[in-house]
Amino acid sequence: MADDSEMNNSSSDDSNDLNTKFGLRLKGRKGALKKKNVYQIKDHRFIPRFFKQPTFCSHCKDFIWGFGKQGYQCQVCSFVVHKRCHEYVTFKCPGADKGADSDDTRTKHNFKLHTYSSPTFCDHCGSLLYGVIHQGMKCTACDMNVHKRCEESVPNLCGCDHTERRGRIQLKITCAGNKLTIVVCQGRNMIPMDPNGLSDPYVKLKLIPGDSGDNVKKKTKTIKSNLNPVWNETLTFDLKPEDKDRRLLIEVWDWDRTSRNDFMGSLSFGISEILKAPADGWFKLLTQEEGEFYNVPVPEEGVDMAQIKTQMRIILYQPYGKSVDWWAYGVLLYEMLVGQPPFDGEDEEELFASITDHNVSYPKGLSKESKDVCKGFLTKNPNKRLGCGNRGEEDVRGHAFFRRIDWDRIENREVQPPFKPKIKHRKDVSNFDKQFTSEKTDLTPTDKLFMMNLDQTEFMGFSFLNPEFIQHV
102: nearest Cα among 45, 42, 164, 154: 154
Query: What does each C-alpha distance from 203 to 101, 179, 258 come to in angstroms?
Result: 37, 19, 18
Sequence ranges of the domains in the chain: 36-97+106-159, 168-291, 312-405
**Using CA atoms, how far apart are residues 458 and 464, in angstroms rounded to an integer?**
13
**Using CA atoms, how far apart are residues 114 and 135, in angstroms rounded to an integer?**
7
The pLDDT value recorded for residue 161 is 81
Q: Are 305 and 284 in contact (CB under 8 A)?
A: no
Low-confidence ranges of the chain (pLDDT < 70): 1-36, 96-107, 211-215, 257-260, 301-320, 348, 443-452, 466-473
The pLDDT value recorded for residue 431 is 85
Alpha carbons within 13 A on the beta-carbon side of 422: 5
The pLDDT value recorded for residue 16 is 57
Q: Are 252 and 202 in contact (CB under 8 A)?
A: yes
Question: Which residues sit opposite 279 in a β-bridge?
Answer: 173
- Dump pLDDT digits (tens) for 46-101: 999 898 889 999 999 999 988 888 899 999 899 999 998 988 898 888 876 554 44
CB contact set of 447 (below 8 Å; sequence gap of 6+): none
The pLDDT value recorded for residue 213 is 55
360: nearest Cα among 336, 335, 393: 335
Name the CATH architecture for the domain at 312-405: Orthogonal Bundle (1.10)
**Using CA atoms, how far apart are residues 455 and 202, in angstroms rounded to an integer?**
65
Q: Are 219 and 206 in contact (CB under 8 A)?
A: no
The pLDDT value recorded for residue 183 is 95
Domain 36-97+106-159 coded CATH 3.30.60.20: yes
Q: Are 206 and 216 in contact (CB under 8 A)?
A: yes
SS3 content of the chain, % helix, strand, coil (to 5): 25, 20, 55
The pLDDT value recorded for residue 388 is 87
* Domain 168-291 CATH class label: mainly beta
